[in-house]
A and B are shown apart, each in its own frame.
Chain A
Amino acid sequence: MNQKTTHFGYAEVDWKEKASRVSQVFDSVAGRYDVMNDLMSMGVHRAWKRFTVDLACVQKNDQILDLAAGTGDLAAAMAAKLGPRGGITLADYNYEMLSRGRDRMIDDGFAGVASSVQADAEALPFADDSFDCMTISFGLRNVRDKDKALRSMLRVLKPGGRLLILEFSKPANPLLSKIYDTYSFEILPRMGQAVAGDAESYRYLAESIRMHPDQDTLQSMMNEAGFERTQYYNLTGGIVAVHRGYKF
């Protein structure tokens, strides 16, 4: 019998193995995650995230789910826009990352509106129609079954709610693409080794970005899952894209 497999970067791994291997990567980098993000993107990731938060247009009473919340930088920016009747739930598959996000929310004074849940995006442990707004930032590419995860996200969104996906994508310009490849495969792993003491995890990062669906493919997947009025915005020449879709 053929075993079900999936991608882990460029490697083909057993379906059940991917989640634990991704978890190992994030266990390894959690402590230096924010520093590495600043270094790798030369600080631009802050602008990408600010754009995503602005586009989400959080309302005071919104119930928000931040998936793959990681160290909680996106969640903290959105929580700042909530009123006392609003709420934000941080969810992450990886406990190490989630605990850092939870700590950040407490430290930043958002304990009153924030909660955290260790959860699998493919089977979200929330009731139907629970959230007005949902975000997933640099997390979808680590999910095994993206179609299943998108359907799960749609289920827990309220009618009228929106999903925003911030993720690495495909540069539109071939020259930029070439420069970006060199940077990702030559410089990034060395930077990871120097700062986080872990070249392999950052090699995985580069490979997983290349294996992630491009802008149009992801938009089609969102449509297939049942999202409506989907669209995407290329940022930094398409190195990163923000996809958005609504549930009606």
Chain B
Amino acid sequence: MALLDQVLGPLEIVLNRALSASPQALASLEGAHDAVALELRDLGWAFRMTPVSHGVQLLPGGEPARAGVSTSLVGLARLGAGEDPRAMGSALQLNGDAEYAERVLGALRESRIDLQAEVRAVLQPVLGSQVGAQLGQGLRGLLDFGRSSVRELLLGRASQESAAQVDGGEAADPEQASAWMDEVDDVASAVDRLEARIRRLETSADEQA
């Protein structure tokens, strides 16, 4: 926790510097007052990012938060390597209001912050260059993940009101999904054939009558 305390201030500074340089990014946070939490399970780190008038405030601890992302160093490394988050299972968990999380993460994306370089620079003195680089790359992967997948992965499933937990583990891996889609095609063909048979039976019944 002491390490996290050392990191949060500098991290907040680099995030806010980027947000301040982008009026559009800052404007997109207007009216947003709730926290989005980020948990790195294996480091025992949890902090929340809360929009304020001049950017975001980073506070230690994961509660209270409207939405949360929970992962591990390995999870971040997989994100950083460009792995599809839908195939990551329990390595990446998303909780709460996904639309709100996307709004806050989207503001950071909009700011065009070079998260990989900035986070590496901030974390290097306390965690060493390798872990610092890994975290930076992983967090950049998290933002990229937001761009491509938060809506796709969550918005269709997690209702904003219920703030239900949606776990990346629910998603199948690509091979399983492909096999499942083949089975769906087979069922659809069978249903088509069945419908055709029923139509023929109905026609012949009408003719006999």
Contacts and interface: CB of A to CB of B under 8 A. Distances in A.
A62 B53 CA distance: 11
Interface in A110-136: 132-133
Interface in B11-69: 12-13, 16-17, 20, 50, 52-55, 57, 59-60
A246 B55 CA distance: 13
Given A57-B55, A59-B20, A234-B5, A229 B50 contact: yes
Contact of A57 (B16, B50, B59, B60): B16
B128 interface: no
Interface string A157-194: 00011100000000000000000000000000000000
Contacts of A59: 20, 53-54
Given A54-B13, A55-B9, A57-B13, A229 B59 contact: yes
A133 B17 CA distance: 16
A238 B82 CA distance: 40
Given A229-B59, A231-B59, A57 B54 contact: yes
Interface string B57-88: 10110000000000000000000000000000
Contacts of A132: 53-54
Contacts of B13: 51, 54-55, 57
Contact of A55 (B5, B12, B59, B60): B12
Contacts of A161: 53
**Size class of the A contact interface (CB-based, 8 Å):** 10 to 19
B52 A246 contact: yes
A175 B61 CA distance: 29
B187 to A, nearest CB: 54
A162 B20 contact: no
A244 to B, nearest CB: 8
Nearest to A58: B54
Contacts of A33: none
B20 A51 contact: no
Contacts of A58: 54
Contacts of B54: 57-59, 62, 132-133, 162
Main secondary structure of the interface of A (DSSP, over half): strand
Contacts of B12: 55
Nearest to B26: A59
A26 interface: no
Contacts of B8: 233
Contacts of A160: 52-53
Given A57-B16, A57-B20, A59-B20, A233 B9 contact: yes
B63 to A, nearest CB: 14
A161 to B, nearest CB: 8
Given A57-B20, A229-B57, A229-B59, A162 B9 contact: no
A231 B35 CA distance: 15
Contacts of A62: 54
A59 B54 CA distance: 7
A62 B55 CA distance: 13
Interface core residue of A57, A160, A161, A234 (most chain B CB under 10 Å): A57
Contact of B9 (A51, A229, A246): A51
Contacts of B60: 231
Interface string A213-244: 00000000000000001010110000000100
20 contacts: A51-B9, A55-B9, A55-B12, A55-B13, A57-B13, A57-B16, A57-B20, A57-B54, A57-B55, A59-B20, A59-B54, A132-B53, A162-B54, A229-B50, A229-B59, A233-B9, A234-B5, A242-B9, A246-B52, A246-B57
Given A57-B20, A162-B54, A233-B9, 19 more contacts: A51-B9, A51-B13, A55-B12, A55-B13, A57-B16, A57-B54, A57-B55, A62-B54, A132-B53, A133-B54, A160-B52, A160-B53, A161-B53, A162-B52, A229-B59, A233-B5, A234-B5, A242-B9, A246-B57
Q: Closest 3 CB pairs between A and B?
A: A160-B53, A57-B16, A57-B54
